Amino acid sequence: MLLEKINGVADLRKLSTGNLDALASEVREYILEVISANGGHLASSLGVVELTIALHYVFNTPRDKIIWDVGHQCYAHKILTGRREAFRDIRRFGGIAGFPKMRESEYDAFDTGHSSTSLSLACGAAVGRDLARKKNKVIAVIGDGSLTGGMAYEAINQIGHTESDVIIILNDNEHSINENVGAMSRYLTRIISSSTYNRFRRKSMEIVKGIPRIGEALFTFISRFFESFKKMLIPGQLFEDMGIRYFGPIDGHDIVSLIGTLERVKRIDYGPKIIHVITKKGKGYLPAEMNPARFHGIGPFDRATGLTYGEKTLSYSEIAGKTLAHLARNDKNIVAITAAMKLGTGLFEFENKTPDRFFDVGIAEQHAVTFAGALTASGIKPFLSIYSTFLQRAVDQLIHDIGIMNLPVRILIDRAGAVGQDGETHHGLFDIAIIRNIPNFILLAPSTGEELRDMIYFASRHDAGPVAIRYPRGGVGADDFTFEEGRRFVPGKIRRLTAGRDLAIFTFGDMVPVARRVRELLIPRGVSTAVVNLLTIKPLDIPGIERILRGVRYAITLENGMVSGGAGESILASVRADLRKKILLCAGFPDRFVPHGSNAQLFREAGIDAESLAKRLRRLMR
């Protein structure tokens, strides 16, 4: 066993290149063993095992900086940089994170989690290094999917005209989460296919040149002919034209040739360079190679079959996607938009049934929002399904391109609230603070699948301005579901779920069950609690809330989001001063970033699980 002797990169560098393939197999095996138990981003990490080994073998990390775009492919990197044993607890509460973390290791150059930041980080790191007159190398590893994100081009625009020594590794597996989309993806595919052609061309030209007498003339003639097609035929010409030297494409699973190319590029100590590396997503585990999208991010699974454990219930995402597909049958103006997350947001049925009204725009959240806004000018009803955390990218677009013009864009905010094991870069804790501060927006939050469905029906009819609906990650606990409209939803009306004279809990979404549990825990103490489902976070039903407040002695607000800027603060700011005094607490996530772990653990840590809340309330009401 080689891996058990690798306690850090120094041990790796002691190995002969002849041993590196065997090490790659062991690393793969270990990743599979741990991720099948813990869940995680399997396919992307399996795809870059050889690349990771080659990078740490050639470069002098941690002095040289490797910057992983998104960071979901960093498992081999963590295992080889002194975290082999810690890897067993990856993504668990208190264990190491699933993404690079500077505080975890000096080998993690920056924290990442959202896509397309690596080139800006590399540009900044390289320019900073030059200003500080240091000599280290800066290497960004970016996937072809992440190259659909606008930030990457903003960075390339600057990188292409600096003289700074930056190395970009383009990890091209032709996949984002699903197949990659868009013009750049098409260009990369053409490079790969034209590289085979180029090899053939080089060989033929050598033969032509060798023909006695006419060889040279024929060579010149054919060269000119090819020159006119240069942009089409020379790999990477687009990057070269942008001022970035292009190398490749090379086989990302051939460690020796990877090391050779990296060594050569490392010796060029000026200007930006890009190495185009071709890898296979899911490499070495057949179920993941066959279905990389399913194994992109996956829960614990059985290695033998590739099947996940546990009963699968209908998720909020599926309800949103299926309701939209259902609605779109009769309403030809409904379109669905995703920014590279069609699987996660449950839009596959919509895509299958109405492909002409389905748009995957790539990892381009800013563009997605503005694109949706402009569609409304033609009477289209755009539904943009997007994770809360990724919507953060598009704050200005929400304000400038939707809010100000009051355009009827429908935004389905998936994974709102804490999301568990992906941790601080992925929690959806800021959407309330963002959207409730943008005029014209309606912001809704269902606590059941039925509420979500009926809110989507409402949104499909609401042409007077933008509507956003936030809902949590996970299942609704029911499979028996109809996608016909149930109760006609009217925004701006609270729903009192239980009657109570002592305490009111104003809450919404997936905190409704928590509030009900708090109520039960307080019953033995003689406290009767009114649980109130807000349903609409903006505009708040202030008369309804004040009516409830008048009937109780105390109240709290409870939400799965940041307290600061949240719905609780909105209530505090809006109710009459004499009633405001009754509100003892705005419960939610306090002003610090929330780590990774199960949501139950994260709620407990923030003191917003039912037991902690009941305890706090008993104290406060005393």
Q: Which residues bind ligand TPP (CB under 6 A)?
A: 44, 47, 70, 72-73, 114-115, 143-146, 171, 173, 175-177, 281, 340-341, 363, 365, 390, 393
Structure tokens at 566: 């949240």
Least separation in angstroms between residue 321's CB and ligand TPP is 17
What number of other Cβ atoms are within 10 A of residue 162's Cβ?
Answer: 15
- Minimum distance between the CB of residue 414 and ligand TPP, rounded to whole angstroms? 11
Choose, from 83, 281, 342, 436, the residue flagged as catalytic.
281
Q: Which of 129, 342, 357, 393 is catalytic?
A: 393
Catalytic: 365? Answer: yes
332 is catalytic: no
115 versus 421: smaller Cβ distance to ligand TPP: 115
CA 563 to CA 429: how far, in whole Å? 9
- 220, burial (CB in 10 Å: exposed 0-12, middle 13-18, buried 19+): exposed
Which lies closer to ligand TPP via its Cβ, residue 47 or residue 284?
47
Catalytic hit among 365, 450, 485, 569: 365
CA–CA separation, 395 vs 480, rounded Å?
Answer: 37
d(CA 181, CA 367): 14
Q: What distance, in Å, lies between the first and last C-alpha atoms of the chain? A: 62
The nearer residue to ligand TPP, 168 or 531, going by C-beta atoms, is: 168
How far apart are CB 190 and ligand TPP at their closest, in Å?
A: 17
In the complex with ligand TPP, which residue's Cβ is closer, 146 or 448?
Answer: 146
- Is the preceding omega at residue 439 within 30 degrees of 0, hence cis? no
Q: How many CA atoms lie within 13 A of 77 on its CB side?
A: 32
In which element (H, E) is residue 227 found?
A: helix 215-228
Q: Which residues contact 553 (CB under 8 A, 6 or more apart)?
A: 501, 502, 503, 582, 621
- The answer to whether 519 and 500 have CB atoms below 8 angstroms apart is yes
State in angstroms the smallest separation of the CB of 446 from ligand TPP.
Answer: 23
CA dihedral 546, 489, 385, 511 (to 10 degrees): 40
Q: Closer to ligand TPP at the Cβ: 71 or 597?
A: 71
Between the alpha carbon of residue 448 and those of residues 40, 262, 535, the distances in Å are 27, 53, 10
Minimum distance from residue 419 beta carbon to ligand TPP (Å): 12
Our CB check for ligand TPP shows the closer of 40 and 145 to be 145
- What residue ranges in 369-492 does DSSP mark as E strands? 381-387, 410-414, 442-444, 467-470
Amino acid at 185: S
Cα gap 290→269, rounded to integer Å: 40
Kindly state the smallest distance separating residue 244's Cβ from ligand TPP, in Å.
Answer: 18
| In the complex, least distance from residue 112 CB atom to ligand TPP, rounded to whole angstroms | 8
The CB-of-177 to ligand TPP minimum distance in angstroms stands at 5
Burial of 146 (0-12, 13-18, 19+ CB in 10 A): buried
Burial class of 441 by CB neighbour count within 10 A (0 to 12, 13 to 18, 19+): buried
Distance (Å, rounded) from C-alpha 144 to C-alpha 2?
32
Return the active site residues.
Answer: 281, 365, 393
